[in-house]
Structure 1
Amino acid sequence: MANRVEIISKETILPSSPAEPHIRELKLSFLDQIAVPIYTPIIYFYTDDQSDQFCPTDILLRLKKSLSDALTIFYPIAGRIRDGNRFIDCNDNGAEFIEAMVHRKLADIIENCDMDELREYLPVQPQDHPHQGEATVLLVQANLFDCGGIAMAVCLSHKVADGNSLSKFVQAWAAISRGEAAGVVAPNFHVLAEQFRPIDLPEPDLSPSKFIYREKIVTRRFIYDDQKLASLRAEIATAEGSKVKDPSRVEAVSASIWRHFIEHHRRNGCRTFAAVHPVNLRPRMADPPLQAFGNCYVLSPAYVADGDGEHELHRLAELLRNAFRKIDGEYIGEIQRSGGGEYQTLRQSIAITKKEGASVCSFSSWCGFPVYGTDFGWGKPAWVCTTIFPFKNIVILMSRADGKGIEAWVNMLEDDDDGDFKTLGD
């Protein structure tokens, strides 16, 4: 494995123009302040028939030049987090760009997904986020395969952006790369700190080790094709007593995976179960949706206690939907007025639930992100994926290339990787 990915060079990419003096300091919202300090990884794979119109040198020059221009528009990404997690110093220190050669056929990677191998294509591991000093916010690794394919790996600090913002940045970078910079619109970088004012936290321990389990974490990918999704949705909609007659893809898959977690942990003695989804606040705060860059979500927990019938698929889908619907304008207003108190209380209740032995399954849906439209100038990706997250019971949901199916990336303790999860996606 070690000799398959060869690092050729590392370079700091600076913005093509410096940030204006009046925007040098960008306050973090309290939603940013309490975000887990990790890098969010995503990899875009492009096959050799897409990139053969460019030589590797041209590709790298194009990527570096367009990244420099993108950093001028998304200037906070070129900065550094300062003052104990309170603001971004937009100092134009830049992003790290790594060039690597991969002595492997890209098609083999797509056909035979190996979790440990995918990590080799990342510029940094998710848990290696420095919590102080000169922490680089953005790192990129351009993996050029011997066959001519390309894997673009992007890791962005979760302290600065959620998945929605990460997707928007990469989309903008790709548009600039393919010569469509005129259509790129900068998001609002200041509105979140205005809407969710920074709070005075006790001196935070931002070390990732505080959040990451020391036990061995394994990641499994499960495929829900359109046929399997149709079957799940029909099972939920037609079940006796079902109140969810039109389950979404995300609701159906989340309910299915949650049920597997419940059955597994129930046999291990758990009697209370929770499923937590982050809910994007942008469309719930404005119409049209708020174009805000940063962390703009709250957690939406659903709870169920052990009992007859409580674990039926349609009942779990109903609990998830009810939890989603609680995140409305009134709820958001309460969070804003309380200066973060309501949200901190929610996080504390989840922590207490964990402490008391409940089984908590955390989801994050990336299905709404237009990742398969990411064209740097040589076509759209053949496959887009994430990699291993250093947390147990974390599930990342991603759309498939056909726009219909879903890939579920399930992170769990190695000891939990048994037969209970073998049938997911089958």
Structure 2
Amino acid sequence: MGIPKDYNVEVVKREVVIPATVIQEHVLPFSNIDLTVPPCGVHVFFCYDKPFQTSFVSVLSNLKSSLSRAFMSCSAFAGRLVSHGDGDLQMVCNGKGAEFSEAYADICLTQVEFCNPIAAIEGKLVPLLVKDSEGNGSPVFAVQVTKFSCGGIVVSCTFDHRIADSFSTNLFFTCWANLSRNEPIGFITPSFTRSILVPRDPPDCCSEIKKMYTKVQLFPQSNMQIPHPPITSRIYYLNAKDIEMLQQNANQNGNKYTKLEAFSAYLWKMLIQGQEIENTMNCNMGIVVDGRSHLTRMGMPTNYFGNVISLPFARARAKDIKKEPLSWSAKGTVGPPQVHCGATVPVVTCKYTQGLQVHCSHP
């Protein structure tokens, strides 16, 4: 079956799902790490075959009902980002809820080119975080459920990254999924304690952190439009054998690297070789990692809700990345922990079963 270049999605209904019971309004403080996360919405989608024992109407009703109950375990996703007098944002847990959209697509689910998310997913299958028209602030969570012509269903969500990282969000998704199946939620009430992430006073920063920032300089205003390179976004799937082969190639001369380190080194080489970059130019390779395994040893609760991420990176000249073997590039992706936002975070290892899915965005 050929893959169509485009397809249509019609949103037929939008409503707001609120918590099952009234939530006492309160403010959730941002941590020092939350404040470093840019204002961006993260899209997550789940694909399902046509359900044979229930109707789409029943699926929608069940998802809305279970989402309403899930908000009771994590009220942050039903709140709003509100700007107060000095321009700073506050996360207000006020129970205003999240927009829930019902949509229909005019093709079969198997025809969607998921590997090209910008063309096939954004603006079609994932919802936007639309500012509250009543002046209650900006929502941080939205849901869209899309039915395809074959009966397949995509449940997609968008959440504001400033509120939570993927670990925290996955706890909420697990709670919601279990409630939708009438199973025990298996969910520990999230902890919103921020004391472990209070900045040092006086500050104590590693000198490496200075390489991650640059001074802001004021330039004369100009009407000249500076072109920006387009962002390319792709989703790749690599099977287990390919990952193991990359790891074997990287583990030369007695070195041992994780599967994620080996793949990151390979991706680094491919991106540099596929672009016209001067040989003398320094190129960075960054990997977003979860710092919980480190900070829990320092007193952070295992059920901490919020952002606990860092971005360690390697740097090398383009010509070295191109000509040196994979084992050399892999060596550049590891090393001593990087210091970022007051938290020391080691490079994460990769766990996999049948393969590895990678979402890569780059100019």
TM-score bracket relative to the smaller structure: 0.7 to 0.9
2:326 aligned residue? 313
SS at match of 1:224: strand
5+ long unaligned stretches in structure 2: 201-226
Compute the displacement of 1:2 (Å).
Answer: 7.8
Q: Which has the higher contact order (CA 8 A, sep 6+)?
A: 1
Instruction: Say if 1:259 and 1:311, in contact at 8 Å, map to a contact too.
Output: no
Compute the displacement of 1:65 (Å).
Answer: 0.5
Quickly say closer, same or farther: Cα 1:367–1:64, change in 2 above 3 A.
Answer: farther
2:236 aligned residue? 222
Compute the displacement of 1:4 (Å).
Answer: 2.5
Instruction: Say if 1:78 and 1:137, in contact at 8 Å, map to a contact too.
Output: yes
Q: Distance in 2 between matches of 1:261 and 1:34?
A: 26
1:259 aligns with 2:263: no
2:20 aligned residue? 16
Name the stretch that deviates more: 167-176 or 90-99. 167-176
1:271 aligns with 2:281: yes
Quickly say closer, same or farther: Cα 1:152–1:223, change in 2 above 3 A.
Answer: same
SS at match of 2:305: coil
SS at match of 2:121: helix
Deviations 1:181-235 (A, max 9, x none): 442222212x2x2222379xxxxxxxxxxxxx95432223333211211211111
1:335 aligns with 2:342: yes
2:207 aligned residue? none
SS at match of 1:12: strand
Q: Distance in 2 between matches of 1:276 and 1:86?
A: 28
Quickly say closer, same or farther: Cα 1:141–1:111, change in 2 above 3 A.
Answer: closer
Given candidates 69, 75, 88, the residue that maps to 2:91 is: 88
Quickly say closer, same or farther: Cα 1:367–1:162, change in 2 above 3 A.
Answer: farther
1:158 aligns with 2:168: no
Mapping of residues 191-270 of structure 1, within 5 Å: 191=193, 193-197=194-198, 214-237=228-251, 239=252, 241-243=253-255, 245=256, 247-265=257-275, 267-270=277-280
SS at match of 2:19: coil
Q: Distance in 1 between matches of 2:141 and 2:292?
A: 23
Identity of aligned residues (%): 24
Q: Distance in 2 between matches of 1:60 and 1:96?
A: 13
1:107 aligned residue? 110
Given candidates 279, 304, 312, the residue that maps to 1:292 is: 304
Compute the displacement of 1:268 (Å).
Answer: 3.5
Compute the displacement of 1:135 (Å).
Answer: 1.0
Q: TM-score, normalised by structure 1?
A: 0.68
Instruction: Say if 1:242 and 1:315, in contact at 8 Å, map to a contact too.
Output: no
Quickly say closer, same or farther: Cα 1:113–1:215, change in 2 above 3 A.
Answer: closer
Q: How many residues align?
A: 323
Instruction: Say if 1:282 and 1:290, in contact at 8 Å, map to a contact too.
Output: yes
Quickly say closer, same or farther: Cα 1:98–1:306, change in 2 above 3 A.
Answer: closer
Quickly say closer, same or farther: Cα 1:79–1:165, change in 2 above 3 A.
Answer: same
Q: Distance in 1 between matches of 2:236 and 2:106?
A: 27
1:35 aligned residue? 37
The two structures, once aligned, show a CA RMSD in angstroms of: 3.2
Compute the displacement of 1:33 (Å).
Answer: 1.2
Instruction: Say if 2:239 and 2:355, in contact at 8 Å, map to a contact too.
Output: yes
Compute the displacement of 1:109 (Å).
Answer: 2.3
5+ long unaligned stretches in structure 1: 200-212, 337-341, 344-363, 369-398, 414-426
1:57 aligned residue? 57
Quickly say closer, same or farther: Cα 1:326–1:129, change in 2 above 3 A.
Answer: farther
SS at match of 2:138: coil
Instruction: Say if 2:280 and 2:319, in contact at 8 Å, map to a contact too.
Output: no
Instruction: Say if 2:171 and 2:187, in contact at 8 Å, map to a contact too.
Output: no
1:304 aligns with 2:295: no
SS at match of 1:44: strand
Given candidates 326, 329, 347, the residue that maps to 2:337 is: 326
Compute the displacement of 1:301 (Å).
Answer: 1.6
Q: Distance in 1 between matches of 2:29 and 2:275?
A: 41
Q: TM-score, normalised by structure 2?
A: 0.79
Q: Distance in 2 between matches of 1:297 and 1:112?
A: 26
Deviations 1:132-160 (A, max 9, x none): 96211001100112222110111000110
Quickly say closer, same or farther: Cα 1:9–1:59, change in 2 above 3 A.
Answer: same
Larger Rg: 2
Instruction: Say if 1:13 and 1:97, in contact at 8 Å, map to a contact too.
Output: yes
Compute the displacement of 1:321 (Å).
Answer: 2.0
Q: Distance in 2 between matches of 1:2 and 1:116?
A: 8
Q: Distance in 1 between matches of 2:314 and 2:166?
A: 22
